[in-house]
A and B are shown apart, each in its own frame.
Chain A
Amino acid sequence: MEKILILNGSPRAPRSNSKRYGALFDRAWGGESETMDLLRADPGAVAERLETVSRVLLVFPLYADAVPVPVLRTFQALEERPPKNRPTLSVLVNCGFLEPEQCDVAVDMAALFCKQMGWPMGSVLEIGSGEAILDSPFRFLAAWKIKALARAVAADRPRRLKAAMPVSKAFFLKASTRYWLAYGARHGVTGEEMATMEIEGQRPS
């Protein structure tokens, strides 16, 4: 299997869900791979690596309905100094909310980058409930879709895939509240404190 370059675009790359999704993809890929964290990597080094592969997987979280800053910075740097090679870019995006469709705009931003660069756009996997799914009983669903993504990327057969916890919205609200309460409790912060209406210690008049 040909080598794939996995680019982790998370602002918290070393401790990110994207890192875990990238690792699951790597396992499903089976062939040679190299991972770079866009947060730390020099864009010149990324461009250099892009000369050596025909396939790239960009893994990132949804940030404010769009691509996060390390991805935007990398797009801009690559546009300024484009590599000669034009690899196929596939995308694995995850978001905190339940609906994978909330990632559509960010995926289309990546597609627009590809169009502006003359790169082929490859396959896409959007994972909703992506903050929590890997530590839930539905981890297998994410892993299963990541395998399907790896197969589509290897076969150069662009597919658009989605995954999310198969639960009702009402259940998701309850489960996410439990998730965040436990998160706060680890820092000694109560649910009431987390639910403060104050911003910077002030309640706007």
Chain B
Amino acid sequence: MKTILTDRPLSLDLGDREDLVCFDLSRMRIAPCVGCFGCWTRTPGSCVIRDDAVKVYPRLAESDTVLYVSRVRYGGYDLPVKIMLDRAIPVQQAFIRLLDGETHHVQRSVVPKRAVIVAYGARDREEEDLFRRLVARNAKNMSFAHYEIRFTGEEQVEAAVRQEVEAWKRS
């Protein structure tokens, strides 16, 4: 299972492969997390906000490969991807374990994954370096076994995504 999360429309031909899905967050209705911890303590594994996010996080959990497409803002993700990643915490339990000597949440049924992040619009090296540090931290909380970051300009986003998707189709 392979999943794309994008903050902008992409013209992609995914063929009729059911194992490839693209969520265009710019066309979805997803509210920001309200920090209620309902997904850990009231309805474990389900978010209490029943909008489009509930279609996305189960799919991210079962994907062995994910591709995130996001503009970079202040060394982090821009709002669409940021909002969705915050809303994905139902895939974790409230309970905490040690991972690489640090405290992190226990994951529910989440497949370890390879993540590719197409990050566009970073202003300079400093912003790229901060984004790298963010993704390194995300890797621990989001079950990235491997990840790659491809920094691109806005015009090269489609090409970078297409290159990755073509490789998926061949696999």
Contact = CB atoms under 8 A, between A and B. Distances in A.
Interface residues of B, number: 54
Contacts of B42: 187, 189
B163 interface: no
A99 B46 CA distance: 27
Interface stretch (B2-10, B12-20, B69-77, B151-159): B69-77
Contacts of B95: 176-177, 180, 194-195
B54 A72 contact: no
Nearest to B84: A64
A172 interface: yes
A130 interface: no
Given A183-B41, A198-B108, A67 B74 contact: yes
A16 B34 CA distance: 11
Nearest to B137: A65
A172 B103 contact: yes
Interface string A125-136: 000000000000
B40 interface: yes
Contacts of A203: 109
B127 to A, nearest CB: 6
B122 to A, nearest CB: 11
A109 B74 contact: yes
Given A16-B35, A184-B41, A200 B96 contact: no
A40 to B, nearest CB: 12
Nearest to B89: A64
A200 B54 contact: yes
B102 A99 contact: yes
Interface size class of A (residues with CB under 8 A): 35 or more
B165 interface: no
Nearest to B87: A64
A194 B41 CA distance: 6
Nearest to B108: A197
B61 A189 contact: no
B79 A69 contact: yes
A86 to B, nearest CB: 17
Nearest to A104: B133
Interface string A50-87: 00000000000101111111101101100000000000
Interface of A: 10-12, 16, 61, 63-70, 72-73, 75-76, 97-99, 102, 104-105, 108-110, 112-113, 116, 169, 172-173, 176-177, 180, 183-184, 186-187, 189, 193-205
Interface of B: 32-37, 40-42, 44-46, 54, 57-58, 61-62, 73-77, 79, 82-83, 85-86, 89-91, 93-98, 101-104, 106, 108-111, 123, 126-127, 130, 133-134, 137-138, 141
Which 10 pairs between the two chains have the least Cβ-Cβ distance? A204-B62, A180-B94, A12-B35, A65-B137, A69-B32, A97-B103, A11-B35, A66-B76, A109-B74, A184-B41
Given A195-B93, A195-B106, 12 more contacts: A64-B141, A73-B79, A76-B79, A104-B133, A105-B134, A109-B76, A169-B98, A183-B37, A184-B40, A196-B44, A197-B108, A199-B57
